[in-house]
């Protein structure tokens, strides 16, 4: 009995590095408890909102502890800003309020995300010795006598995502595309709805808010689709992404010089697969979970490595982010309405800042830069050789897709490496020590890894019609079939999770 | 329409069915062919198991890690002005430089709490005497003394060594990274950028038996390099090769500011031409006669010059045993990684030759750090390893009678059992075998496994933020390497201070020379 209570307190305590995530079994306990209560109230709008809001708050508290306060703060600020913008008739007043709202949002985001980046940059440029102080902890300690560490700043979970959501809300009201929400609880629910809170997709208020007032409806086909997405996401994340990262990709990126150029190159491709499976797997589950509760979230990935050019890639990769950047950064900068040169500059600014959004490091800026330059080159290319959309030869598509994929993978090296020196090491290994003679031994030493990478990419590159057909089969299948399939998948995933770490490639270190 | 309660029932049903087999199958799984299949039990399914079993880093270790991190950058950039005397006691400037840095931040308290002491064999309580005497008598003021750090991939890329070097050089003086092979290693130390022509080939003692040349003279770096593959590839023609060394990185790095270049070579049956280019200008071309022994060439280098290029011309390559980037005084610390080695290959080589080279190098301390390569092959008994290591240590004692020897034991290695990372079951046995070998040979031993925190500590090191070990659960990150190096260094300095105390120095005299002040705090006495 004692043990039981210990578990209960575990559940309600915040642990650093122990958030509730979809791939932990504990999430599904959380979700089933939620569903149980939901069964009683799902038909009453107001109760439903309050209920899901409370669970979402709990979910965020488990991920972030104290930073919970920031979420509330952002909610109150932007709710107020929304009302103020809508109720002002003067243009300058609307501008002022939207300006304040965006500044607060970006200010908080920059402080938590970029304080180190900017202080270090300033210190290294001007030789100063500024130090970063965590004011949130400092103030809390002064107020409550607590002992949070104020000498370091930790990035609050999901802040990049919900900040973009709240910005889109106030800006849309300013653009008169959206009416402000009457009830702050509805707004809080939109900001903190747990399936998309931590890692997206970035949902627009215009898409989400109407659903709050709609009646719960979930057809058998929708249910089956959600079920499919969740299983698909679990396989992507836990079977492919987690396994190849811990047993291969992380090791190579940690220590590029210990591996041949071939292994460095395949680790880069492996990482391309890993990050796709990780991220899209997570959003698949988010979309599925939200759908089971009766909420529809936008699609976020559409087989991105099938892209035949870099513009196409950004129409398929993290779609909710790229469309956000287009609507709230590229277009306000002037988009392509101010001439060619300006549109290239705007594109570049958008991609560089988009890179910085992913993390406070020059590596992410370079990553954005590679994409920005590639997008610009593609723009120039299409203006010189306008493509004939009706007739596209297969080999041309293949070559274009191949080049696009290589560029994207090149950019991933910067994205993933822990530091710039490692990037240099990887290029050095690939260029100078490719190790063509040891290709076969490298593959046969890690058959499961190379097999999984091959399997992952093959599935990814299957024709959409084929993927649709097996999704259709699953949707039409009986519940018993679905349950059996789930059990098999759980069992296989568990074997991978519980399997030993694969031995080091050469067994000699 | 699918109602929420149906979904609820479905989730509960799926969980119950998934947990069902664990009631009938053993916890450790069943073996199907070569794979072990396991069934999740209910606590694993509910996730309570993983949450409570995460390995956490000892808080003291975490504090130490932070201090070490802030110290490292300061340590590397202690700038010795050229005419500054190295002795810290007699020169107030250096003392000040050392004291004012973050080093003093590493307080005795934290170090003491984590001090994992060096173990001495009963037969030889003074087994570090050669090293300690050379420090006490300031032999490093006449010509540099050397610490050679041998190890496996755990020390590759100057890990651990660089920190020990920075610490020792800050205290006793000295500059440069010490020995490097002709063909640069895959990861280079900071402060230097070395490139070589592509015709260099390197043979290390880990390859011994595989190469057909039959040469067993590997020298102090455990390997030699040649630029003509079968020594005379094109018998009549002249072969050329080069090695370029550049000063690299921050101008104040002690590693960058070496002032002397040594070349160790020999055993060429034909003469060859050697030329040193300085900043692209030819300088100093000489014909080197045929030789049948170890030869050393020394160049004094101008600190203002950045690029040095050694050019070799001749139809037969000499065996190049290494280069040294060093100072005229002080302590030199060499990083000598031999990947894949368990530290048991030295006796296969010509130790008489190694002895000659160690003598020339003025070796005063030899650190051997091996063991992780023994781990993956789990056996009952490690007597064989103990005996092999014992033979190596004996061979080193004969080869370096003027040097002290210390063996650093195996570091923790984790593997996955179920959902958790745990230490390999044989780590302690390997550590014990190493300790026995050291004690039988009369050599000092430092228990790295214990210093890390003992059983399951690797999982905690990997799990730390920022990580102290890499995801292979074998190797330290640079940060982790610095941390373990600080612990080793303070253990060594503790013994040194104790040695001085025993030799009649007063606490005050020691304190003046100390940066750790372990001894002068009264709490430590055994």
Question: A79-88 pLDDT, tens per residue?
Answer: 999 889 988 8
Question: pLDDT tens across B109-119, in order?
Answer: 666 667 889 99
Task: Give me the torsion for CA of A180, A45, A54, A230, rounded to 10°.
Answer: -100
Q: Do B474 and A509 touch (CB under 8 A)?
A: yes
Q: Do A26 and B46 touch (CB under 8 A)?
A: yes
B101, pLDDT greater than 60: no
Tokens standing for A491? Answer: 């069992």
Helical pair A394-416 and A420-432, crossing angle rounded to 10 deg: 130
Q: Do A506 and B340 touch (CB under 8 A)?
A: yes
Q: What confidence category does residue B155 fall into, taking pLDDT thresholds of 50, 70 and 90?
A: very high
B97, pLDDT greater than 50: no
Interface probe, candidates B48, B101, B210, B420, chain A, greatest A C-beta count within 10 A: B48
CA atoms within 13 A on the CB side of B257: 18
Q: Do B419 and A497 touch (CB under 8 A)?
A: yes
Distances (CA, A) of B439 to B387, B393, B432: 12, 10, 10
Chain B, residues 465-494, CB within 8 A of chain A, namely 465, 470-475, 477
CB B324 within 8 A of CB B261: yes
* B413 or A17, higher pLDDT: B413
| B153 lies within 8 A of chain A by CB | yes
- Global pTM reads 0.73
Shortest distance, CA A218 to any CA of chain B (angstroms):
5
Q: Which of A12-26, B101-115, B376-390 has the highest mean pLDDT?
A: B376-390
Residue of B nearest to A14 (CA): B51
Report whether the peptide linkage leading into residue A201 is cis, meaning its omega lies within 30 degrees of zero. yes
Q: Do B15 and A26 touch (CB under 8 A)?
A: no
Shortest distance, CA B183 to any CA of chain A (angstroms):
14
Shortest distance, CA A333 to any CA of chain B (angstroms):
38
A462, pLDDT greater than 60: yes
Average the pLDDT over B165-180 and give the result. 91
B128 Cβ neighbours under 8 A, 6+ residues apart: B118, B120, B365, B404, B406, B444, B492, B495, B496, B499
Question: pLDDT tens across B457-504, in order?
Answer: 998 998 887 889 988 889 998 889 999 998 999 899 889 988 988 887
- Give the C-alpha separation, A146 to A69, whole Å: 15
B199, pLDDT greater than 60: yes
Q: Which of B11, B37, B48 sits opposite A7 (nearest CB)?
A: B48
Interface probe, candidates A3, A9, A25, chain B, greatest B C-beta count within 10 A: A25
Q: Name the residues of A annotated as catalytic.
A: 358
- Give the C-alpha separation, A390 to A497, whole Å: 47
A182, pLDDT greater than 80: yes
Q: Do A29 and B46 touch (CB under 8 A)?
A: yes
Distances (CA, A) of B72 to A2, B102, B153, B315, B330: 47, 9, 21, 46, 19
Shortest distance, CA A410 to any CA of chain B (angstroms):
22
* B3 or B215, higher pLDDT: B3
Please name the helix (run of DSSP H) or strand (run of DSSP E) that holds residue A207, with its range, or none: helix A205-212
Interface probe, candidates B5, B6, B9, B11, chain A, greatest A C-beta count within 10 A: B11
Helical pair A394-416 and A362-384, crossing angle rounded to 10 deg: 160
Q: Which residue in this structure is represented by tokens 């794979």?
A: B35
B320: nearest Cα among B272, B284, B258, B260: B272
> For position B86, what pLDDT does the model report?
34
> For position B523, what pLDDT does the model report?
34
Enumerate the residues of chain A whose CB falls inside 8 A of the CB of residue B37: 495
Sheet holding B272-278, edge to edge: B192-196, B239-247, B307-314, B272-278, B281-288
Between A8-22, A250-264, B141-155, the lowest mean confidence (pLDDT) is in A8-22
Helices (H) and strands (E) in chain B, counts: 15, 20
Tokens standing for B8? Answer: 């609820």
Enumerate the residues of chain B whose CB falls inside 8 A of the CB of residue A507: 376
> For position B213, what pLDDT does the model report?
64
Q: Which residues in A342-357 are b (16+ Cβ under 10 Å) and which e?
A: ebbbbbbbbbbbbbbb
A373 Cβ neighbours under 8 A, 6+ residues apart: A348
- Give the C-alpha separation, A217 to A237, whole Å: 29
The total number of residues written for chain A in this structure: 509
Q: What confidence category does residue B349 fall into, taking pLDDT thresholds of 50, 70 and 90?
A: confident
Tokens standing for A176? Answer: 């008169």
Q: Do A29 and B418 touch (CB under 8 A)?
A: no
The phi, psi pair for B195, rounded to 5°, reads -130, 155
The count of CB pairs under 8 A between chains A and B is 139
Q: Do A509 and B152 touch (CB under 8 A)?
A: yes
- Give the C-alpha separation, B378 to A58, whole Å: 46
* A341 or B515, higher pLDDT: A341
Question: pLDDT tens across B421-470, in order?
Answer: 889 999 999 999 999 999 999 999 999 999 999 888 998 998 887 889 98
B204: nearest Cα among B324, B366, B321: B321
Chain B, residues 325-344, CB within 8 A of chain A, namely 339-340
Enumerate the residues of chain B whose CB falls inside 8 A of the CB of residue A29: 46-47
**In this prediction, what percent of chain A has a pLDDT beyond 70?**
86
Q: Do B17 and A28 touch (CB under 8 A)?
A: no
Q: Which of A25, A425, A509 sits opposite B153 (nearest CB)?
A: A509
> For position A133, what pLDDT does the model report?
67
Shortest distance, CA A506 to any CA of chain B (angstroms):
9
Q: Do B11 and A28 touch (CB under 8 A)?
A: yes
How far apart are the two ends of chain B, measured CA to CA in Å? 77
CB B286 within 8 A of CB B274: yes
B385, pLDDT greater than 90: yes
ipTM greater than 0.95? no
- E-assigned strand segments in B327-388: 331-337, 363-369
> For position B52, what pLDDT does the model report?
45
Q: Which of A17, A18, A217 sits opposite B1 (nearest CB)?
A: A217
Q: Do B376 and A507 touch (CB under 8 A)?
A: yes
Q: Which of A10, A17, A508 sits opposite B339 (nearest CB)?
A: A508
Q: Strand B272-278 relative to strand B281-288: parallel, antiparallel, unpaired? A: antiparallel
Shortest distance, CA A374 to any CA of chain B (angstroms):
32
Q: Do B2 and A218 touch (CB under 8 A)?
A: yes
Question: pLDDT tens across A298-313, in order?
Answer: 989 999 999 888 989 9
Helix, strand, or coil here: B177?
Answer: coil
Q: Do A501 and B376 touch (CB under 8 A)?
A: no
> For position A381, what pLDDT does the model report?
87
Enumerate the residues of chain A whose CB falls inside 8 A of the CB of residue B3: 39, 42, 218
Chain B, residues 251-310, CB within 8 A of chain A, namely none
Residue of B nearest to A34 (CA): B8
Q: What is the radius of gyration, based on Cα positions, of chain B?
A: 26
Q: What confidence category does residue B105 fall into, taking pLDDT thresholds of 50, 70 and 90?
A: very low
Q: Do B153 and A499 touch (CB under 8 A)?
A: no
Chain B, residues 30-69, CB within 8 A of chain A, namely 35, 37-40, 44-48, 50-52, 54
Tokens standing for B368? Answer: 């051997």
Residue of A nearest to B154 (CA): A509
B336: nearest Cα among B357, B299, B366, B308: B366
Interface probe, candidates B471, B473, B475, B477, chain A, greatest A C-beta count within 10 A: B471
Interface probe, candidates B344, B472, B478, B481, chain A, greatest A C-beta count within 10 A: B472
Q: Do B477 and A254 touch (CB under 8 A)?
A: yes
Q: Do B17 and A483 touch (CB under 8 A)?
A: yes
Q: Which residues in A102-123 are b (16+ Cβ under 10 Å) and which e?
A: bebbeebbeebbbbebebeeee
Interface probe, candidates A5, A221, A246, A494, chain B, greatest B C-beta count within 10 A: A494
- Give the C-alpha separation, A33 to B5, whole Å: 11
**In this prediction, what percent of chain A has a pLDDT beyond 90?**
31
Shortest distance, CA B472 to any CA of chain A (angstroms):
6
Q: What confidence category does residue B510 fall into, taking pLDDT thresholds of 50, 70 and 90?
A: low
A132, pLDDT greater than 80: no
Q: Do B471 and A246 touch (CB under 8 A)?
A: yes
Shortest distance, CA B230 to any CA of chain A (angstroms):
21
Average the pLDDT over B120-143 and give the result. 91
């Amino acid at each position: 009995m004692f043990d039981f209570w210990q578990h209960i307190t575990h559940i309600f305590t915040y642990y650093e590095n122990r958030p509730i995530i979809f791939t932990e079994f504990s999430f599904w306990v959380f979700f089933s408890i939620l569903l149980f209560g939901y069964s009683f109230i799902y038909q009453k709008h107001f109760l439903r909102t309050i209920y899901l809001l409370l669970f979402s708050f709990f979910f965020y508290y488990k991920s972030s502890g104290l930073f919970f306060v920031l979420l509330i703060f952002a909610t109150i600020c932007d709710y107020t800003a929304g009302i103020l913008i809508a109720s002002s008739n003067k243009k300058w007043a609307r501008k002022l309020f939207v300006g304040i709202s965006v500044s607060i949002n970006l200010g908080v985001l920059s402080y938590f995300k970029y304080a180190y980046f900017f202080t270090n940059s300033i210190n290294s440029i001007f030789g100063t010795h500024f130090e970063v102080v965590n004011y949130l902890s400092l103030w809390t300690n002064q107020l409550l006598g607590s002992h949070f560490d104020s000498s370091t700043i930790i990035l609050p979970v999901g802040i990049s995502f919900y900040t973009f959501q709240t910005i889109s809300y106030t800006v849309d009201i300013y653009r008169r595309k959206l009416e402000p929400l009457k009830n702050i609880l509805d707004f809080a629910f939109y900001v903190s709805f747990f399936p998309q809170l931590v890692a997206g997709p970035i949902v627009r208020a215009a898409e989400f808010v109407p659903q709050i007032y709609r009646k719960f409806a979930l057809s058998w086909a929708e249910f089956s689709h959600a079920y499919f997405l969740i299983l698909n996401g679990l396989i992507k994340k836990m079977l492919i992404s987690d396994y190849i990262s811990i047993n291969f990709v992380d090791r190579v990126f940690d220590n590029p010089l210990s591996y041949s150029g071939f292994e460095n190159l395949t680790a880069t491709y492996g990482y391309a697969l890993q990050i796709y499976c990780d991220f899209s797997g997570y959003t698949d589950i988010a979309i599925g979970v939200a759908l089971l509760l009766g909420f529809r979230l936008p699609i976020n990935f559409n087989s991105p490595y099938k892209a035949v050019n870099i513009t196409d890639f950004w129409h398929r990769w993290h779609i909710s982010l790229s469309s956000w950047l287009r609507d709230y950064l590229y277009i306000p900068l002037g988009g392509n309405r101010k001439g060619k040169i300006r549109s290239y500059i705007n594109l570049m600014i958008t991609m560089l800042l988009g890179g910085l959004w992913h993390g406070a490091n020059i590596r992410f800026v370079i990553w954005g830069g590679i994409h920005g330059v590639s997008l610009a080159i593609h723009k120039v290319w299409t203006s010189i050789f306008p493509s004939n959309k009706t007739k596209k030869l297969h080999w041309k598509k293949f070559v274009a897709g191949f080049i696009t994929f290589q560029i994207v993978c090149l950019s991933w090296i910067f994205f993933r490496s822990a530091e710039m020196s490692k990037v240099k090491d990887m290029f050095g290994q690939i260029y100078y020590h490719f190790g063509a003679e040891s290709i076969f031994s490298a593959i046969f030493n890690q058959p499961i890894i190379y097999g999984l990478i091959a399997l992952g990419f093959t599935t990814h590159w299957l024709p959409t019609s084929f993927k649709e057909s097996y999704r259709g089969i699953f949707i039409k299948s009986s519940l018993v079939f679905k349950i059996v399939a789930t059990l098999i998948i759980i069992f296989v995933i568990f074997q991978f999770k519980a399997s030993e770490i694969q031995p080091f490639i050469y067994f000699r270190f | 329409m699918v109602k929420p309660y149906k979904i609820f029932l479905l989730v509960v049903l799926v969980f119950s069915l998934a947990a069902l087999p664990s009631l009938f199958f053993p916890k450790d799984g069943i073996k199907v062919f070569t794979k072990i299949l396991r069934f999740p039990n209910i606590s694993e399914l509910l996730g309570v198991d993983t949450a409570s079993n995460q390995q956490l880093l000892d808080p003291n270790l975490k504090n130490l890690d932070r201090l070490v991190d802030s110290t490292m950058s300061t340590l590397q950039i202690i700038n010795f002005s050229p005419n500054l005397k190295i002795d810290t006691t007699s020169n107030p400037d250096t003392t000040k430089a050392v004291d004012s840095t973050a080093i003093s931040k590493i307080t005795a308290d934290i170090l003491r709490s984590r001090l994992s002491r060096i173990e001495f064999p009963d037969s030889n309580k003074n087994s570090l005497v050669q090293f300690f005497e050379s420090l006490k008598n300031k032999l490093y003021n006449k010509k540099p003394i050397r610490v050679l750090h041998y190890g496996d991939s755990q020390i590759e890329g100057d890990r651990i060594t660089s920190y020990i070097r920075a610490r020792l050089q800050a205290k006793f003086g000295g500059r440069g990274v010490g020995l490097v092979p002709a063909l640069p290693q895959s990861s280079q130390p900071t402060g230097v950028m070395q490139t070589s022509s592509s015709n260099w080939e390197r043979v290390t003692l880990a390859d011994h038996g595989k190469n057909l040349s039959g040469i067993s003279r590997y020298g102090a770096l455990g390997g030699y390099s040649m630029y003509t593959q079968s020594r005379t590839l094109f018998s009549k023609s002249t072969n050329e090769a080069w090695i370029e060394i550049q000063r690299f990185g921050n101008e104040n790095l002690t590693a960058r500011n070496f002032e002397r270049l040594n070349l160790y070579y020999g055993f060429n049956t034909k003469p060859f031409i050697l030329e040193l280019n300085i900043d692209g200008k030819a300088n100093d071309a000489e014909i080197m006669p045929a030789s049948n022994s170890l030869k050393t060439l020394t160049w004094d280098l101008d600190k203002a010059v950045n690029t040095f290029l050694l050019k070799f011309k001749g139809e037969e390559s000499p065996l190049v045993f290494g280069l040294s980037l060093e100072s005229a005084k002080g302590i030199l610390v060499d990083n000598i990684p031999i990947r894949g080695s368990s530290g048991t290959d030295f006796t296969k080589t010509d130790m008489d030759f190694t002895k000659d080279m160690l003598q020339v190098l003025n070796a005063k301390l030899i650190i051997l750090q091996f063991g992780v390569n023994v781990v993956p092959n789990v056996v009952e008994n490690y007597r064989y390893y103990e005996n092999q290591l014992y033979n190596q240590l004996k061979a080193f004692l004969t080869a370096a009678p003027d040097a002290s020897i210390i063996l650093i034991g195996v570091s923790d290695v984790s593997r996955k059992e179920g959902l958790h990372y745990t230490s390999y079951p044989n780590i302690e046995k390997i550590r014990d075998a190493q300790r026995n070998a050291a004690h039988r040979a009369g050599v000092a031993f430092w228990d790295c496994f214990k210093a890390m925190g003992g059983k399951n500590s690797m999982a905690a090191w990997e799990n730390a933020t920022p990580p102290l070990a890499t995801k292979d659960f074998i190797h330290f990150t640079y940060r982790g390497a610095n941390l373990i190096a600080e612990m080793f260094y303070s253990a060594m300095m503790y013994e040194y201070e104790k040695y001085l105390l025993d030799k009649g120095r007063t606490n005050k005299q020691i304190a003046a020379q100390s940066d750790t002040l372990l001894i002068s705090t009264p709490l430590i006495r055994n």
